[in-house]
Amino acid sequence: MKLVNLHSHFELPTNQLGLVNHSVLLPFEPKDGQRYSAGLHPWDLDEATDDNWLQMLEVIIQNPQVLAIGECGIDRSLETPIDRQIACFLPHVELAEKYSKPVILHAVRSYSDLLQLKKKQNATTPWILHGYQGNTETTKQLAKYNFCFSIGTALLNDRQKLNQSLAEIPLNQLFFETDESTVNIESIYIFAAEQLNIPLQKLQKQVFDNYQRIFGS
Ligand SMILES: [Zn+2]
C-alpha cells in the first residue's frame, strides 16, 4: 500500500501517493506517474497582473493528471487586501464545482473566512485545509462542515495545541503531507499514530482509503 503524502512541492517517490503542487503562473509539464493540484497561491497574486491565469487554470485542470484545484485560499498575514484575495479565490471554487474536483486550501488566520465562504458558495466538492494548525474549537466547527484536514511537519514540533486538534479530526477527514519540507512523511504518520493511540498500519490504511474516496485514483 502506498503512503499518502497529500500535498508536496516536490515530485513524489513511487511508493507515495499524493498531489504535487503546481502554480498556474508556471509552465505545466506533467511527469509520468505524478498527480497534481493546480492553482494561484495567495502569495502570488501580485504576479498575476491580468486574468490570463484563470484561462490557463481551466486548461490545466482538464489534464487527467490534475486531481484537485489549489493551493489557493486566503492569507491574512499578507498585505494583499482580503477583497482581492477573495476575488481570486472564488473562481477556483467555481472551477472546482464545474469540474467536480476537490480544493486544496492555503489558510492563514482565515479559517472562519473559509467556513463562511464554503457555506455561502454551497460548495459540494471536498475542501481540504493543507498545513492545518487550527485549535480544537475551530477544528470541531470545520469538521462539522465537512472540511478535510491535512497535517504537516508542524505536528512534529509537538505543540500540544495541534495534538489536541488532531484528536478532534474525524479519521475519514484526515490527511498528512510534507508540503515544502524534506521531512520523511513516515515520521509524521508514526508521530500521529502515537498521539492518536492507534496502530500505524491502521492509520496509513485509513488515510489511503480517504485518498481513494476523494480522488478516486
Ligand atoms: Zn504548499
Is the pLDDT at 60 greater than 70? The verdict is yes
Q: Separation of 209 CA from ligand 1 center, angstroms?
A: 22
Q: Separation of 131 CA from ligand 1 center, angstroms?
A: 8
Measured CA to CA, the distance from residue 178 to residue 3 in angstroms comes to 12
For 136, 154, 171, 189, the CA distances from 168, given in Å and listed in that order, are 7, 16, 9, 16
Is the pLDDT at 50 greater than 80? The verdict is no
Q: If you average pLDDT over every residue of the chain, what do you get?
A: 95
* CB-based burial label for 174 (10 Å; 0-12, 13-18, 19+): buried
Is the pLDDT at 216 greater than 90? The verdict is no
What per-residue confidence (pLDDT) applies to 158? Answer: 66
Measured CA to CA, the distance from residue 147 to residue 118 in angstroms comes to 9
Q: Separation of 201 CA from ligand 1 center, angstroms?
A: 26
Q: Which residues surround ligand 1, an ion (CB under 5 A)?
A: 179
Q: Separation of 32 CA from ligand 1 center, angstroms?
A: 21
Q: Separation of 3 CA from ligand 1 center, angstroms?
A: 18
What per-residue confidence (pLDDT) applies to 217? Answer: 60
> 111-143, pLDDT tens digit by residue?
999 999 999 999 999 999 999 999 999 999 999
| Threshold 0.85, pTM exceeds | yes
Contact 192, 166 (CB under 8 A): yes
Task: Identify the residue whose cell numbers are 476575488.
Answer: 87
* Structural domains present in the chain: 3-215 (3.20.20.140)
Measured CA to CA, the distance from residue 47 to residue 27 in angstroms comes to 14
Measured CA to CA, the distance from residue 62 to residue 28 in angstroms comes to 12
